[in-house]
Amino acid sequence: MKAIEILIKEHNLISLVLPLIKKSAEDITMNKGPKQEFYKLLVDFTKDFTNGVHHYKEEIVMFGLLAQKLDGKLDAQIEKLRSQHSVLRDLATDISSSLDNYTKGHESAERQLHRASLDYASKLQEHIETENRVFYPVTVKVLNDTEKENLLAEFESYESKFEENSFTKNQARFQRMSELV
Ligand SMILES: [Fe+2]
Ligand SMILES: [Fe+2]
């Protein structure tokens, strides 16, 4: 199923960033201080790609399509994934605001950045694993061919709104981040 293959490809790119987040957090505890360019790239990657592209496609497009399937039997699972997206968005906001506070010289900012980024990486990893192992296989089973085609068409229509290919753009951000840690 092409639409799910696209989401898995996005998971794979996001998953490459997670060990970099952990490594950067370690550097903070070693008193090296946060690398601001890394965290700025992370904030952009998260906002534009993880939230703006990947979670948008899942939440607004795919979860909507699945909501009434199997007489609502998937609804509880969808709600759980939706609320995990919301927790992840809050943690991404914490990363961004603690980075701002760090640049302003606030004392507790490093600690906040360390905690928020580690929490973000571990929760996102867990979330991705659940979707790959449990939720995506169910989606492939439950949708009929027409719905699968519609889902792909909606993904493509959403992607076409961006001037630059979002995957390629964020792959480049990942490359740069990996050079910085
Ligand atoms: Fe998700
Ligand atoms: Fe996902």
**What percentage of residues in the chain have a pLDDT greater than 90?**
86
Q: pLDDT at residue 164 above 90?
A: yes
pLDDT given at position 4: 97
Instruction: Give the max Cα distance, the chain.
Output: 55
Instruction: Name the pLDDT band for 27 (thresholds 50, 70, 90).
Output: confident
Tell me, in angstroms, the distance from the centre of ligand 2 to residue 102's CA: 30
pLDDT at 107: 85
Question: What pLDDT score was predicted for residue 99?
Answer: 94
- The Å distance, Cα 181 to ligand 2 centre, comes to 25
Q: pLDDT at residue 121 above 90? A: yes
Distance from Cα 107 to the centre of ligand 1, integer Å: 34
Q: Say which ligand is closest to the CA of 77.
A: 1
Q: What is the rounded average pLDDT of the residues 120-127? A: 98
Q: 161 CA distance to ligand 1 centroid (A)?
A: 21
**Each residue of 17-37: b (16+ CB within 10 Å) or e?**
beebbeebbeebeeeeebbee
Q: How far is ligand 1, taken at its centre, from the CA of residue 104, in Å?
A: 33
Residue showing tokens 């906040």? 112
Give the mean model confidence (pLDDT) for residues 157-180.
Answer: 96
26 CA distance to ligand 2 middle (Å): 26
How confident is the model over 48-96, as pLDDT tens digits?
Answer: 999 999 999 999 999 999 987 888 889 999 999 999 999 999 999 999 9
Cα 129 to averaged position of ligand 2 atoms, centre (Å) = 9
Nearest partner of 56 among 178, 171, 181, 166, judged by Cα: 166
- Binned at pLDDT 50, 70 and 90, residue 18 comes out as very high
Considering the entire predicted model, what is its pTM?
A: 0.95
Centre of ligand 1 to C-alpha 38, Å, is 24
Closest Cα to residue 42, out of 136, 134, 141, 178? 178
Higher pLDDT residue, 30 or 171? 171
Residue 31 has pLDDT above 80, yes or no: no
Among the bound ligands, name the one nearest to the CA of residue 8: 2
- Give the mean model confidence (pLDDT) for residues 155-160: 96
10 Å CB burial of residue 160 (0-12, 13-18, 19+) is: exposed
- The boundaries of the domain holding residue 50 are 2-180
- 37 CA → ligand 2 middle, Å: 26
* pLDDT value for 29: 82
Ligand with minimal distance to 89 CA: 1
Count how many domains the chain has: 1
pLDDT for residue 33 is more than 80: no
Rounded to 5 degrees, what angle do the CA atoms 166, 80, 114 make?
65
Query: For all residues of the chain together, what is the average pLDDT?
Result: 95
Task: For residue 172, give the CATH number of its domain.
Answer: 1.20.120.520
